[in-house]
């Protein structure tokens, strides 16, 4: 089950966030900052998923945007990577060369 979805640029600014489980604003800010910092610090040679607290974080970078999804430990990481890829392809087909500004506004 999805916990949350984040779209973040290379500077670490959150462009879109959607949460599927309740958490306070303070918890969200702390969690987002920590996850974003860890994802941006990872090299391209490292895998695109990691464990964080009691869930898995799966991310993928497309151009200047990171698509970050947190899921339960029971979810398959490769399925989530495929889901991210399908979402990006749908955006690209529907919006024709979608960019960071399109997502922001």
| Structure-model confidence comparison of residues 102 and 83, the more confident one | 83
More confident residue, 70 or 91: 70
Is residue 101 scored above 90 in pLDDT? no
Q: What is the pLDDT of residue 44?
A: 84
| pLDDT digits 0-9 by tens, 20-41 | 999 999 999 999 999 999 999 9
What is this structure's pTM?
0.88
In this predicted structure, the answer to whether residue 105 has a pLDDT above a threshold of 60 is: no
pLDDT band for 62, please (50, 70, 90 cuts). Answer: confident
Q: CB–CB of 36/69 below 8 Å?
A: no
pLDDT band at 88 (very low <50, low <70, confident <90, very high): confident
Please answer whether residues 32 and 86 qualify as being in contact, where contact means their C-beta atoms are separated by less than 8 angstroms.
no
**Burial of 58 per CB tally in 10 Å (0-12, 13-18, 19+):** buried
């Amino acid at each position: 089950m999805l916990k949350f979805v984040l779209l973040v640029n290379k500077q670490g600014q959150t462009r879109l966030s959607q949460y599927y489980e309740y958490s306070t604003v303070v918890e969200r800010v702390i969690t987002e900052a920590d996850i974003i910092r860890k994802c941006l610090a990872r090299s391209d040679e490292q895998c695109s998923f990691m464990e964080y607290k009691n869930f898995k974080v799966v991310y993928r970078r497309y151009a200047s945007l990171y698509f970050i999804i947190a899921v339960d430990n029971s979810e398959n990481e490769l399925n989530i990577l495929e889901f991210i890829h399908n979402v990006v392809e749908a955006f690209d087909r529907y919006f024709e060369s979608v960019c960071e500004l399109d997502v922001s506004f």
